[in-house]
């Protein structure tokens, strides 16, 4: 089916109707603290399942037979699955009632763009990317200052000369490093070049902007670095404490004030005091927002999220032209927004990994979903594309398993890392009772998953106990808490694992997979709980599994039940890893062995 402006608008309108009533939460308990409602909640089952996290803060809620009662979520305590609501009307929900969520209309501005001149320009940019097969500028050899780049990273930088280009960067391949070099190259080669640096999240924008800043520092060009600015109020202030030149005038002092206020966080058990502190923090956060209009007119580089760029597109257009747009983590941007990105400038570079996290789409109609779930890697598959195939994060065995499972065997450990003794020492294997822990270690449990009313989701006690056993043994083998990250796709299992570790290992990080992209640790423990579920099967499931295990530098450990080998990806990983780490005709299971002993 051909993609038209009309089909895009229709799909966005359908998605908008769903997102504006963004699912519901079931009330498990309720009490008052001063004039706040304190509610323990759990997600409703179904398509619009809601993640209980800080993203819900500021969202409107309604309840009652005719949604006659309303309030605003002030605080979310994800660990306790509790929300604190400031009621706008009288009445409280009863246990078992549904709270309906009404988030902001973030798709409205994008719909408006597609209905106006920007929609025509986006269609034009797509045609140009197909018709203009030659570079718009001469492709030149990179200077000696870019000698640190690998060959494919250099190609990615040079491909910025085309109307549109794509950089595919699997985990550990230096995608962010390449983006920094690319931005620096454009700024140095074209004295009047201006760049929009955008991404789907604040983390993505911060990471890309700071990488360009690092490269400019190495190139001895602080004069250009001072012309880069971060706009929007939700950046991470800590990252800019030592880089005040990346903020609008006067914001460095406000960053200091914000961080001092943040450090005074009261206990969450003091509910009313905590809510008042959150209100002060929100007001301080709002003060961090620069004047987008003045910054956009004066800066050579502007870092901004896709959502903010869409909302303020008229300001950015008036402040243009923008010869270049660099869009990082493009795999997480819905199709209509990805198509609109090139309309913000004249030449566009998309960077990301289509094998990792994808856009969140709620529409289940096949036609609408197919369009919305497409990413830049689908829509611009015809443009010059560089696949970065050398990585330096994962030890050889992990890289081999990830490469064969997700990247057709194309991903390798880079030559520099293979020759680097310090790199190898940092990733040297751990031992348990004299037995070397396999790089990819599958540990079988006999208990299948179960649904727990108490935890409000899918759990597996035996694998949570095994995680505790693994940490006990590793903690006794000279490993630090900061070296380990425990991942699971299910929030209920995250809560259960935390309860197991609370007594002896309270500082070990336990997270859902979605929150882990961009992080890395020496040891990753990935508990799938139920790899037979549709959640972990197919393309979306493969992406989650890929994100989880590719965070690991030295070891990845996976508790599993035999039934989970019906998941083709889990089965393939288990087959590959058992083939690599065979010892004396028997696949090593050091933690089961240690437990049995």
What CA–CA distances, in Å, run from 315 to 206, 269, 304? 21, 43, 13
Residues 77 and 221 in one domain: no
Instruction: Kindly report the backbone phi and psi dihedral angles of residue 437, in degrees, each rounded to the nearest multiple of 5, phi listed first.
Output: -75, 125
For the stretch 134-175, pLDDT in tens is 999 999 999 999 999 999 999 999 999 999 999 999 999 999
- When divided into structural domains, the chain yields a total of 3
Average pLDDT over residues 495-512: 91
Give the alpha-carbon dihedral of 519, 523, 529, 534, to 10 degrees.
Answer: 40
- Same domain assignment for residues 419 and 547: yes
Q: Decide if 272 is inside a domain.
A: no
317 and 181 together in one domain: yes
- Within-domain flag for 324: yes
Residues 6 or more apart whose Cβ sits within 8 Å of residue 283: none
211 in a structural domain: yes
Q: Is residue 455 part of a domain?
A: yes
Q: What angle do CA 200, 206, 212 make, to 5 degrees?
A: 115
Q: Are residues 40 and 185 in the same domain?
A: no
List, in sequence order, every residue forming a beta bridge with 302; answer none if it has no partner.
196, 229
How far apart (Å, rounded) are the C-alpha atoms in residues 1 and 6? Answer: 13
Q: Are 130 and 35 in contact (CB under 8 A)?
A: no
86 phi-psi bin (left φ>0, alpha ψ -120 to 50, beta other): beta
Task: Quickly state the pLDDT bin for 22 (edges 50, 70, 90).
Answer: low
Residues 243 and 331 occupy one common structural domain: yes
Closest to 235 (Cα-Cα) out of 253, 260, 210 = 210
Same domain as 201, residue 67: no
Same-domain status, 366 and 231: yes
CB atoms within 10 A of CB 160: 24
Task: Flag whether 402 is in a domain.
Answer: no
Q: Are strands 435-436 and 431-432 parallel, antiparallel or unpaired?
A: antiparallel
Give the mean pLDDT of 81-103.
90
Confidence (pTM): 0.91
Mark whether 91 and 117 lie in a shared domain: no
In the prediction, which pLDDT does 85 show? 94
pLDDT of residue 499 exceeding 80 = yes
- Structural domain contains residue 311: yes
CA–CA separation, 51 and 130 (whole Å): 39
Domain contains 396: no
- Which of residues 354, 388, 422 is at a domain's end? 388
Going by C-beta distance under 8 Å and a sequence separation of 6 or more, which residues neighbour residue 125? 163, 164, 342, 343, 348
d(CA 446, CA 554): 27
Among 176-185, 335-344, 359-368, 571-580, the range scoring the smallest mean pLDDT is 359-368
Last residue of one domain, picked from the residues 373, 388, 403:
388
Residue 581: what pLDDT?
A: 66
Tell whether 127 and 84 lie within a shared domain: no
Mean pLDDT of 481-496: 91
Contacts of 239 (CB under 8 A, 6+ apart): 206, 210
CATH value at residue 86: 2.40.10
Question: CA distances (Å), 73 to each of 86, 274, 275, 476, 492, in order?
Answer: 6, 13, 10, 43, 22
Task: Name the pLDDT band for 594 (thresholds 50, 70, 90).
Answer: very low
Report cis status (omega within 30 of 0) of the bond before 77.
no
Q: Give per-residue pLDDT as tens, 515-570.
A: 777 789 999 999 999 999 988 998 999 999 999 999 999 999 999 999 999 999 99
> The domain that contains 472 carries what CATH number?
3.40.50.300
Given a contact cutoff of 8 angstroms between Cβ atoms, the answer to whether 280 and 274 are in contact is no
pLDDT higher than threshold 50 for residue 597: no
Domain membership of residue 300 (yes or no) is: yes
Domain that holds residue 177: 108-133+156-248+289-388
Per-residue pLDDT band at 406 (split at 50, 70, 90): very high
Average of per-residue pLDDT values in the chain: 91
Whole-angstrom distance, CA of residue 402 vs CA of residue 413: 11
Instruction: Pick left, alpha or beta for residue 46 (phi over 0 → left; psi -120 to 50 → alpha; otherwise beta).
Output: left
What is the spatial distance between Cα 306 and Cα 352, in angstroms, rounded to a whole number?
14
pLDDT of 47 higher than 70: no
- Rounded Cα distance between 303 and 179, Å, is 13
Same domain for 427 and 338?
A: no
Flag whether pLDDT at 583 surpasses 60.
no
Q: Are residues 374 and 492 in the same domain?
A: no
Greatest alpha-carbon pair distance for the chain in Å reads 71
pLDDT at 401 over 80: yes
Q: Band of the pLDDT at 595, cuts 50, 70, 90?
A: very low
Under the banding of pLDDT at 50, 70 and 90, the label for residue 514 is: confident
Q: Answer yes or no: is pLDDT of 585 > 80.
A: no
- Quick: pLDDT tens for 243-291: 999 999 889 899 999 999 999 999 988 999 999 999 999 899 889 888 8
361 plus 443 within the same structural domain = no
d(CA 483, CA 367): 44
């Amino acid at each position: 089916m051909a993609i038209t402006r009309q089909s895009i608008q229709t799909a966005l309108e359908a998605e908008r109707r769903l997102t504006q009533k963004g699912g519901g939460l079931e009330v498990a308990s309720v009490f008052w603290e001063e004039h706040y409602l304190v509610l323990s909640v759990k997600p409703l089952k179904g398509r619009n399942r809601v993640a209980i996290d800080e993203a819900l803060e500021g969202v409107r809620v309604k309840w009652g037979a005719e949604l006659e009662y309303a309030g605003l979520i002030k605080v979310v305590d994800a660990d306790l699955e509790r929300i604190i609501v400031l009621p706008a009307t009288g009445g409280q929900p009863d246990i078992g009632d549904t709270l309906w969520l009404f988030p902001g209309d973030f798709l409205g501005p994008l719909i408006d763009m597609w209905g106006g001149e920007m929609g025509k320009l986006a269609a034009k940019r797509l045609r140009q990317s197909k018709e203009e097969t030659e570079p718009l500028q001469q492709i030149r050899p990179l200077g000696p200052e870019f000698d640190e780049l690998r060959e494919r990273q250099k190609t990615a930088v040079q491909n910025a000369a085309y109307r549109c280009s794509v950089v595919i960067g699997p985990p550990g391949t230096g995608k962010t490093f390449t983006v920094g070099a690319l931005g620096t190259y454009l700024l140095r080669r074209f004295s009047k070049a201006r760049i929009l640096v955008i991404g789907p999240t604040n983390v993505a924008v911060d990471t890309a902007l700071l990488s360009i800043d690092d490269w400019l520092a190495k190139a001895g060009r602080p004069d250009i670095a001072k012309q880069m600015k971060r706009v929007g109020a939700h950046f991470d202030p800590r990252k800019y404490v030592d880089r005040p030149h990346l903020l609008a005038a006067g914001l460095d002092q406000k960053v200091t004030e914000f961080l001092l206020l943040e450090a005074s966080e009261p206990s969450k058990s003091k509910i009313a005091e905590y809510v008042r502190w959150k209100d002060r923090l929100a007001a301080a956060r709002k003060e961090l927002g620069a004047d987008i209009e003045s910054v956009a007119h004066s800066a050579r580089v502007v870092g901004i999220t896709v959502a903010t760029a869409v909302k303020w597109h008229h300001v950015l257009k008036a402040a243009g032209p923008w010869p270049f747009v660099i869009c990082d983590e493009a795999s997480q941007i819905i199709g209509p927004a990805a198509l609109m990105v090139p309309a913000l400038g004249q030449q566009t570079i998309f960077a990301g990994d289509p094998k990792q996290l994808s856009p969140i789409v709620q529409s289940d109609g096949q036609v609408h979903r197919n369009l919305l779930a497409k990413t830049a890697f689908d829509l611009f598959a015809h443009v010059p594309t560089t696949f970065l195939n050398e990585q330096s994060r994962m030890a050889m065995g992990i890289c081999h398993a990830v490469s064969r499972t997700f990247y057709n065997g194309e991903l390798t450990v880079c030559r520099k890392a293979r020759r680097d003794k310090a790199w190898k020492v940092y990733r040297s294997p751990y031992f348990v009772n004299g037995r070397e822990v396999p790089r990819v270690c599958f540990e079988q449990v006999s208990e299948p998953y179960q649904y727990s009313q108490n935890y409000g989701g899918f759990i597996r006690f035996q694998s949570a106990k095994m995680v505790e056993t693994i940490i006990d043994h590793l903690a006794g083998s000279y490993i630090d808490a900061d070296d380990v990250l425990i991942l699971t796709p299910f929030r209920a299992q995250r809560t259960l694992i935390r309860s197991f570790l609370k007594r002896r290992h309270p500082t070990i990080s336990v997270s859902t997979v979605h929150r882990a992209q961009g992080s890395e640790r020496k040891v990753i423990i990935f508990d799938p709980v139920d790899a037979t579920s549709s959640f972990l099967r197919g393309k979306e499931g493969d992406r989650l599994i890929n994100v989880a295990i590719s965070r690991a530098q030295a070891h990845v450990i996976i508790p599993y039940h035999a039934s989970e080998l019906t998941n083709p990806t889990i089965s393939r990983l288990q087959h590959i890893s058992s083939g690599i780490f065979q010892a004396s005709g028997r696949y090593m299971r050091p933690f089961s062995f240690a437990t049995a002993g």
